[in-house]
Structure 1
Amino acid sequence: MSQRLHAALAATTAALLGLTACSSPSTAAPPDGSTAETLRIVGFAVPEAANKAIGEAFNQTEAGQGVSFQTSYGASGDQSRSVVAGLDADYVHFSVASDVTRLVEEGLVAEDWDQGENAGVVSSSVVVFGVRDGNPKGIRSWADLVRPGVEIITPNPASSGAARWNALAAWGQVVADGGTEQEAAEYLDQFFANVVALPNSGRDATTGFLAGTGDVLMAYENEAILAAQHGQGFEYVVPETTLLIENPGTILVDATPAAEDWLEFVLSDAGQREFALKGFRPIRDGVDFGGVVEGSADPTDPFPQVPHLLTIEDDFVDWPTLTEKFFAEEGGIVTEAIAHSGKATR
């Protein structure tokens, strides 16, 4: 692209929490006479652990007997472009809907992929602030993020879907509080002026924060919970106004037959239970995950109600509209804010 947003963080390892870039859940033996299938999953980095747990549960079902997994995880935009370039996939799980739209335009995914009851969404979370132990900078609100001396780490919107959710939340909270769009743009300028690192993905941002970069990590709630589950936790704040993150997932038009059973299982209560236990908010009410999620700020109330929860549909129209408005290479509101901060090169 003509305008590239560079990462200020050198570390791009995907080794956080012992998760590998390619992995395979244990696979139950197929019934006599059946043929084993390999399901190729391509996703953004953050849900790798959840998808692995779902895979293990799926293998215990009749439909999942004998199914093995070949996986690839990375920054959402990069993964989407890799599938277009020829990376084999049966099922994709991306951060933002626009990364699936790219595959629709290439004829790799059906145009009606998001017409089901779940509207194409397979996992959800909210934008939170990760902070250092004891919250020494006293970060509680969006206003605190733009105080002088507060250092923020957030992923790069050029490659990361997580970065786009973070930036939209930062802009949207101003308008939701009665501010004008101009005031929201000015807030973004202040926000990105305090950003000290733009890593490639949400997982890379977490790795950088755990290594000591920044005072505040812009993150998915589930990413903070997962880190705590693996003994690398950090405190996090759910702001009073934040954005509902809805991650899309779908199968490709030439997917192996097991892919349809997989997607059905992902959307089932059993699949959503595994998401919840890894820190994702179930995509619908009534999913029984036992009521306790280890690693959350309050394990017995892991997904507290957000007083002012923004959504794409209610506050940003849709992904095609907001992608042009906020992330266009020329004139996008977020693109311009990062350029004003001096963290972009042409």
Structure 2
Amino acid sequence: MSIKKKTAVAASVVSLLALAACGGTSAGGSEAGDGETIDLVAYSTPETAFNDIEAAFQATEAGKDVDFSASYGPSGDQSRAVEAGQPADFVNFSLESDVTRLVDAGLVADDWNAGEHGGIVADSVVVIAVRPGNPKNIQGWDDIVKPGVEIVSPNPGSSGGARWNLLAAYGHVIANGGTEEEAKEYVTKFFENAVALPGSARDALTSFTSGNGDVLISYENEAILARQNGEELDYIVPDETLLIETPAAVTEDAPAVAQDWLDYLYTPEAQEVFLKSGYRPVVDGVTGEVEGANDPADPFPAPKTLLTVADDFGGWPAATEKFFEEETGIVPQIQTETGKLGE
């Protein structure tokens, strides 16, 4: 059962021009299996999973003779690049708002999220990664803002992952009975302790594994994948964390095979690849051991309090306006006040 249904039951900065040069040219409008290319544009973290899923899709009748031209990078930058003209038949971003930007631009249909899973292809949660053995004895959110604890997290100006991280950090204060002013004070301390704000979630992971910081705020799947790749880190699923939902859509002028590809992502075969890569499946019944998880046999523990953007922040339009609007948002104002504007 997916984490969303369990919960219901239980109660890098890259320039646009550089990005625009990354994608291939869409073959446009011909039928599946006709030597077509799918221009895939995605945020930074699902690359490993997609490489394996692409190979599996190409072994199907729908995917026979289909090639992929892929571009990965910070979610917000990728979305803006597509809006500016980067070829894209299929997009997978970190935030719903990065898809709706393309809806507003006429590049993605406004009913892109009307299906059974709301346009979400994989889930994760926000976790705290620490050095092996947890030398700073980090147990949860309150510990990372103590004096002397150095935080690595991506930059919310470019990275969707950063926005999930900061909403989780803010939300944990509210979930424990704190006021909005106390939550703002917490986020201020968070930025005061930040020693690196790279452009993307993947860049933040690289910064941390290169030796920067004491803690990394990240996706659970990123921490698991890092361990699968031999990186030495531990991670903690905080008592209060946020459900990360990663949206995907085909563009209006994409060939029919792009929809076949999107449909394939909801098959048990594709969802199992997501699972093995550390993502929480959105399709019921997809289970199994996950190498690199804290408990490979039970890789996705249910947090004590699982926040969601829809239920706890009023949805992405409201959350974006309140927290991330460039001139008036809580987070940019705190970044300016603390001088932590990112790399």
TM-score (norm 1): 0.89
Give the Å deviation of 1:287: 1.3
Q: SS in structure 2 opposite 1:190? A: helix
Residue 271 of structure 2 is aligned to residue 272 of structure 1: yes
Instruction: Measure, in 1, the Cα distance between the counterparts of 2:188 and 2:284.
Output: 37
Could you report, residue by residue, the CA deviation over 1:6-50 in whole angstroms, capped at 9, with x for unpaired residues?
Answer: xxxxxx599xxxxxx9799xxxxxxxx952111110000100111
Could you report, residue by residue, the CA deviation over 1:185-235 in whole angstroms, capped at 9, with x for unpaired residues?
Answer: 111111111011110000000000011000000100000111111112411
Instruction: Measure, in 2, the Cα distance between the counterparts of 1:117 and 1:325.
Output: 29
Give the Å deviation of 1:298: 1.3
Instruction: Measure, in 2, the Cα distance between the counterparts of 1:105 and 1:280.
Output: 29
1:312–1:319 Cα contact (<8 Å) kept: yes
Task: Name the structure 1 match of 2:249.
Answer: 250
Task: Name the structure 2 match of 1:294.
Answer: 291
2:326–2:332 Cα contact (<8 Å) kept: yes
Instruction: Measure, in 2, the Cα distance between the counterparts of 1:69 and 1:344.
Output: 35
Task: Name the structure 2 match of 1:55.
Answer: 54
Task: Name the structure 1 match of 2:6.
Answer: none
Task: Name the structure 2 match of 1:103.
Answer: 102
1:233–1:295 Cα contact (<8 Å) kept: no
2:33–2:66 Cα contact (<8 Å) kept: no
Residue 323 of structure 2 is aligned to residue 319 of structure 1: no
Give the Å deviation of 1:65: 1.0
Q: SS in structure 1 opposite 2:56? A: helix
AA partner of residue 261 (structure 1): D
Instruction: Measure, in 2, the Cα distance between the counterparts of 1:23 and 1:99.
Output: 18
Task: Name the structure 2 match of 1:27.
Answer: none
* Percent identity of equivalent pairs: 55
Residue 90 of structure 2 is aligned to residue 88 of structure 1: no
2:209–2:231 Cα contact (<8 Å) kept: yes
Could you report, residue by residue, the CA deviation over 1:115-157 in whole angstroms, capped at 9, with x for unpaired residues?
Answer: 1111111111000001001100001111001100000000000
Instruction: Measure, in 2, the Cα distance between the counterparts of 1:191 and 1:110.
Output: 38
Q: SS in structure 1 opposite 2:129? A: strand
2:268–2:283 Cα contact (<8 Å) kept: no
Could you report, residue by residue, the CA deviation over 1:248-274 in whole angstroms, capped at 9, with x for unpaired residues?
Answer: 000000001111110001022221111
Which contiguous aligned blocks of 4+ residues in structure 1 show a shift greater than 4 angstroms? 21-24
Instruction: Measure, in 2, the Cα distance between the counterparts of 1:173 and 1:266.
Output: 32
Structure 2 residues without counterparts, runs of 5 or longer: 1-11, 15-20, 25-31
Task: Name the structure 2 match of 1:304.
Answer: 301
How many residues align? The count is 318
1:225–1:233 Cα contact (<8 Å) kept: no
Task: Name the structure 1 match of 2:224.
Answer: 225
2:120–2:248 Cα contact (<8 Å) kept: yes
Q: Within 5 A, what are the aligned runs for 1:1-346?
A: 12=12, 35-288=34-287, 291-344=288-341
Instruction: Measure, in 2, the Cα distance between the counterparts of 1:86 and 1:331.
Output: 28
Instruction: Measure, in 1, the Cα distance between the counterparts of 2:213 and 2:284.
Output: 35
AA partner of residue 292 (structure 2): G
Could you report, residue by residue, the CA deviation over 1:82-117 in whole angstroms, capped at 9, with x for unpaired residues?
Answer: 101111010000000010011011100001111111
Change (3 A) 1:181 1:262: same
Instruction: Measure, in 2, the Cα distance between the counterparts of 1:247 and 1:57.
Output: 21
Instruction: Measure, in 1, the Cα distance between the counterparts of 2:313 and 2:269.
Output: 31
Q: SS in structure 1 opposite 2:37? A: strand
Give the Å deviation of 1:57: 1.1
1:150–1:194 Cα contact (<8 Å) kept: yes
AA partner of residue 315 (structure 2): D
Instruction: Measure, in 2, the Cα distance between the counterparts of 1:148 and 1:251.
Output: 46
Give the Å deviation of 1:284: 3.5
Give the Å deviation of 1:285: 3.0
Instruction: Measure, in 2, the Cα distance between the counterparts of 1:233 and 1:83.
Output: 36
TM-score (norm 2): 0.89
Q: Alignment RMSD, CA only?
A: 1.9
AA partner of residue 170 (structure 2): W
AA partner of residue 300 (structure 1): A
Change (3 A) 1:103 1:277: same
